[in-house]
Amino acid sequence: MTKLTPDDLWSLETYARRRAEFRAEVMSHKRNRQLMLGEHVRLFFEDRTTIQYQIQEMLRVEKLFEVQEIQDELDAYNPLIPDGSNWKATMMIEFTDVEERHRRLAEMVGIEHRVWMRVGDLDRVTPIADEDMERSTEDKTSSVHFLRFELTPEMVGAACAGAKVTAGIGHPAYRVEATELSPALRDALVGDLAPVTH
Percent of the chain's residues with pLDDT above 70: 94
- Helix intervals (H) in the chain: 12-31, 48-62, 67-77, 98-107, 153-160, 183-190
Instruction: Indicate whether this model's pTM tops 0.85.
Output: yes
Q: How much is the CA Rg of the chain, to the nearest whole Å?
A: 18
The upper half-sphere exposure of residue 83, i.e. CA atoms within 13 Å in the direction of its Cβ, equals 11
pLDDT at 34: 96
Give me the residue spans of the domains in the chain: 1-31+48-81, 85-198
pLDDT in tens, 129-181: 977 656 666 788 889 999 999 999 999 999 999 999 999 999 999 999 999 99
